């Protein structure tokens, strides 16, 4: 990639749609996807790049991938981390943002990868990364494994993707006209938007909600890849709190 294409300011002047997906297939050697959902996301973004649809994608860096499969002599599957180095393929973002998880401040940095285009500057992909020295060791691993860990780990990943992703787009100065959630992993972005567009208390009548639900609803689009109950995350309310 040319040096200019490695800077996010190349992409912030144009009004864009932000496309959020837990996994995106960018290249064979970048294990930030596990299957059909990631391939669909990658193909959608490549199509957008090919025809000049103004988008910016947000995902997790997933430094250890999903897993690398080994079959032992007894025919059993053995799973190994599928480590990759984002510095070989992407440029570190200059911005960092913070959100609170489990009472701790978690800082989120990231990387810029660009899907090239023959018609314009391409589609920027932001790979969010919590592996920062400032973070608690427990939080540095939030973006290490794709779909890894228990429910507590997964909900932290989804908070980083949704809430952290919204904050990162704002910090980098992206000009956005909508938000596309590819599956529900980034659904927390709706809460971040409700907070952003909340009415001030001085403008409210007694008992009126401060949240501009129609505005946020108009900004958001949701698509599902696997429309069955088992394919969607459910979290205990205590975890969400």
pLDDT digits (tens, 9 = 90+) for 26-71: 999 999 999 889 999 999 999 999 999 999 999 999 999 888 888 9
Residue 69 vs residues 19, 30, 65, 154: alpha-carbon distances, Å: 29, 15, 11, 21
Coil, strand or helix at 79: strand
pLDDT digits (tens, 9 = 90+) for 160-197: 999 999 999 999 999 999 999 999 999 999 999 999 99
The CATH topology of domain 4-240 is Rossmann fold (3.40.50)
Strand pairing partners for 71? 77
pLDDT of 4 reads: 40
Radius of gyration of the chain (CA): 18
pLDDT of 241 reads: 67
DSSP element (H, E) containing 96: none
The pLDDT of residue 2 is above 80: no
Average pLDDT over residues 147-153: 87
């Amino acid at each position: 990639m040319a040096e200019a294409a490695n800077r996010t300011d190349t992409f912030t002047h144009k009004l864009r749609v932000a496309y959020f997906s837990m996994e995106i297939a960018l290249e064979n050697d970048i294990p930030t996807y596990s299957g059909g959902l990631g391939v669909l996301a990658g193909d959608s973004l490549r199509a957008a790049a090919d025809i000049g649809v103004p988008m910016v994608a947000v995902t997790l860096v997933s430094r250890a991938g999903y897993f690398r499969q080994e079959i032992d002599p007894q025919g059993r599957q053995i799973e190994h981390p599928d480590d990759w180095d984002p510095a070989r393929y992407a440029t570190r973002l200059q911005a960092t943002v913070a959100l609170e998880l489990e009472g701790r401040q978690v800082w989120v940095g990231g990387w810029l990868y660009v899907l090239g285009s023959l018609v314009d500057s391409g589609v920027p992909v932001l790979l969010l990364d919590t592996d920062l020295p400032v973070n608690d060791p427990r939080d540095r691993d939030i973006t290490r494994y794709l779909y890894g860990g228990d429910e507590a780990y997964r909900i932290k990943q989804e908070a980083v993707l949704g809430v952290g992703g919204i904050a990162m787009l704002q910090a980098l100065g992206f000009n956005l006209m909508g938000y596309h959630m590819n599956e529900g992993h980034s659904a927390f972005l709706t809460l971040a938007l409700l907070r952003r567009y909340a009415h001030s208390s001085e403008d409210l009548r007694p008992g009126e909600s401060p949240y501009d639900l129609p505005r946020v609803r108009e900004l958001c689009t949701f698509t599902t890849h696997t429309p069955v109950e088992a394919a969607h995350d459910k979290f205990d309310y205590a975890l969400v709190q």
